[in-house]
Structure 1
Amino acid sequence: MKALFIGGTGTISSAITKQLSETGWELYLLNRGTRNESLPANVTIIQADINDEDRVAKLIANLEFDVVADFIAFEPAQLERDYRLFQGKTKQFMFISSASAYQTPLSDYRITEGTPLSNPYWAYSRNKIACEDYLIKQYRDNGFPITIVRPSHTYGERSIPLGVHGSKGSWQVAKRMLENKPVIIHGDGTSLWTMTHNSDFAKGFIGLMGNLHAIGESIHITSDETVAWNQIYEAIASALGVKLHAVHVSSEFLAACSKEDYRGGLLGDKANSVVFDNAKLKRLVPEFVATTRFDQGIKQTVEYLLNHPELQTEDEEFDLWCDKVIHALNTALKTITE
């Protein structure tokens, strides 16, 4: 069996690449080669920018695949390009969409693949929905063999998964914890969330590869574990070996006073309680089970980050913003209570 991954080195795709390389699959990665240094030795690299359609077409002219998966498509035009490149050259085309495409706010906290797709808060999610619509049309009209996969909040060893962080990543929040500084949690911290370790996601994804029952289907892949945001931050602090000093701030307030896209990322995603029903995935991949509990997985992430200083990117602007938000809340409280 032969597969081509467009990308292959991100948080989700790197875990799939690693696990797939240990099987009998023949794996090709098409990317620009900027993060290929740690790839398994038996992976074949096609070094190119997928946006250079003419060059890619020449490089794959004599190749056909059982599976092509695009991990870095975010807009319909990119899927139109993929259709031109891979129609007739693959038995299955897998598109990585997003669980944030599901209806926001939800009419039912339990999410199945039948939950409507609608997100008025986040352009990212609306673009993913448009991508799905395009692929479904190609499947219906032209028999393009698609499988749509919807990840939720998937994490690995290189970054701590959080609700609120700055543009330079999540390390600054960990640094605040280590320095005994207060940390912002959106809302009251009791909304429900699902964290999925990338090694668990990879198991489900590989089970869908070459799976004839997955053709024409949309499937989300998540853990069955549900945790509240307060539990998430407590687990991170515990992994760091410190006490958590939490400050709860309204998601609407955070979205209003930040330069970051908290309207999309919070109001359109993380501020809402979600519980995923993975029955469809387990029907298609009977052996699937997510085995990495969040408090276990986050210990691995924190240990890796503490041992790799090059990943500890500081964000002074975000740090100052946190202090300003907390100071504003304390000032308002003092004004009201005096």
Structure 2
Amino acid sequence: MKLLFIGGTGLISEAVSKLAVEQGHELYLFNRGLRNEWAPEGARIIQGDIRDREAAAAALEGYEFDAVVDWISFTPAHAQTDIELFRHRTRQFIYISSASAYQKPPQHYIVTEETPLANPFWQYSRDKIASEELFMEAYRSSGFPVTIVRPSFTYGDSMIPASVNSWRHPWSLIDRIRRGQKIIVHGDGTSLWTMTHNTDLAKGFVGLLGNSEAIGEAFHITSDEVLSWNQIYAAIGAAAGAEPILVPVSSDFLAAFDKDYIGGLLGDKAVSSVFDNSKIKRFVPDFKATVPFAEGIKRTVASFESRPDACTVDAAWNEHVDQILAAYESAKPTYTAIKFGSL
């Protein structure tokens, strides 16, 4: 197939790009050329900025594709641009939504594609929901060939996944564990979660490309392995070669201390999420996630260690964690939790 990925060099998309090329597809990447070290050999680069609609249309003039994937569409405005740009340029358009769009708090801890979409805690998720609605309306009214994919927490060589870590300097968590400093685990660490290696997600994702039966449908693609957050941090510690010193801190307290945690915790990781992958397995019968987290995180740590320039430590984040721990120890009896009605 002839494929176009908008972006294509990020955490999730680089694994999909690599697998698509390995399977013999003709892959074009449309991006600004800032991360092309993650582009697979054989991919063709079209340099441009999808946020500049007119310039993007000019750069794509004359191209048609079997499938287009926009990895960097986050708002309804981005979605509308995609609909206008690709209405007559592709047989299938895959929109990357998010599993955080599913109902929070959930009615049931097992999530299917039929779980309602509602997240009062996180604007990011509400924008994904609104974008899905735009695409589906375009599908219903004019046949826009959309397929929706909702990844959950996906990691790989460039991501050390945790509920509390530095986003820009993820090695900070490994450094802190190895130095014997305390690590925050939200809640009591017993809520259930699903970690998915990007190479596993790629297998299900590539199986949807060019699949006409997937048009008008939505899918999540995750591992079937279910772990508590205590188990997740234990596996990260084992990969780091040191046992983490875990301090349970209430998610409500974290959100009250820093509003940046409202979305990522109360709107996502604070609640148990176990994904039923029956639907993706029906549409892609060969799909099976095969990388257990204990193995995958060892690969991740090894990848960082092979790239010393990636092993950077965020001093401001370390100070932030210490401030949270000090405040929690002193305020445990008296802090006021964020309630739904106060958002």
TM-score by length of 2: 0.95
1:141-198, CA deviations, whole angstroms, 9 ceiling, x for partnerless residues?
0100000000000000112000012353422221110101110100000000000000
Contact kept? 1:159, 1:305, Cα under 8 Å: no
2:113 partner SS: coil
Contact kept? 2:253, 2:328, Cα under 8 Å: no
Kindly provide the amino acid, as one letter, of the partner of residue 237 in structure 1: G
Match status 1:182 vs 2:190: no
1:22-60, CA deviations, whole angstroms, 9 ceiling, x for partnerless residues?
112111000000111342231111000011211221222
1:303-324, CA deviations, whole angstroms, 9 ceiling, x for partnerless residues?
1112222112321122112222
Aligned to 1:94: 94
Aligned to 1:228: 228
Kindly provide the amino acid, as one letter, of the partner of residue 235 in structure 1: A
Q: Mark the runs of 5 or more structure 2 residues left unpaired by the alignment.
A: 335-343
Q: CA deviation at 1:291?
A: 0.3
Contact kept? 2:200, 2:290, Cα under 8 Å: yes
Contact kept? 2:6, 2:29, Cα under 8 Å: yes
Q: CA deviation at 1:251?
A: 0.4
Match status 1:18 vs 2:18: yes
Kindly provide the amino acid, as one letter, of the partner of residue 33 in structure 2: G
> Matched residues in 1 for 2:268 and 2:274: separation?
13
> Matched residues in 1 for 2:332 and 2:195: separation?
33
Aligned to 1:165: 165
1:104 partner SS: coil
Q: CA deviation at 1:332?
A: 5.0
1:221 partner SS: coil
> Matched residues in 1 for 2:112 and 2:41: separation?
38
Alignment of 1:201-216 (within 5 A): 201-216=201-216
> Matched residues in 2 for 1:7 and 1:42: separation?
16
Q: CA deviation at 1:333?
A: 7.0
Contact kept? 2:31, 2:47, Cα under 8 Å: yes
Q: CA deviation at 1:331?
A: 3.9
2:116 partner SS: coil
Contact kept? 1:30, 1:47, Cα under 8 Å: yes
Aligned to 2:340: none
Q: CA deviation at 1:11?
A: 0.5
Contact kept? 1:168, 1:314, Cα under 8 Å: no
The alignment yields a C-alpha RMSD, in angstroms, of: 1.4
Distance 1:138 1:245, change over 3 A: same
Contact kept? 2:96, 2:148, Cα under 8 Å: yes
> Matched residues in 1 for 2:332 and 2:194: separation?
33
Q: Greater shift after overlay, 166-175 or 308-317?
A: 166-175
Aligned to 1:103: 103
Alignment of 1:277-296 (within 5 A): 277-296=276-295
Alignment of 1:231-242 (within 5 A): 231-242=231-242
Aligned to 1:36: 36
Kindly provide the amino acid, as one letter, of the partner of residue 36 in structure 1: N
> Matched residues in 1 for 2:210 and 2:140: separation?
19
> Matched residues in 2 for 1:38 and 1:330: separation?
43
Aligned to 1:7: 7
Aligned to 2:298: 299
> Matched residues in 2 for 1:97 and 1:126: separation?
10
> Matched residues in 2 for 1:210 and 1:277: separation?
23
Kindly provide the amino acid, as one letter, of the partner of residue 294 in structure 2: D
1:34 partner SS: coil
Contact kept? 1:171, 1:313, Cα under 8 Å: yes
Q: CA deviation at 1:215?
A: 0.5
Distance 1:222 1:333, change over 3 A: closer
Aligned to 1:84: 84
> Matched residues in 1 for 2:207 and 2:293: separation?
22
Kindly provide the amino acid, as one letter, of the partner of residue 212 in structure 1: S
Aligned to 2:273: 274
Aligned to 1:48: 48
Q: Mark the runs of 5 or more structure 1 residues left unpaired by the alignment.
A: none
TM-score by length of 1: 0.96
Match status 1:198 vs 2:198: yes
Kindly provide the amino acid, as one letter, of the partner of residue 173 in structure 1: L
Number of residue pairs the alignment of both structures matches: 334
Contact kept? 1:121, 1:263, Cα under 8 Å: yes
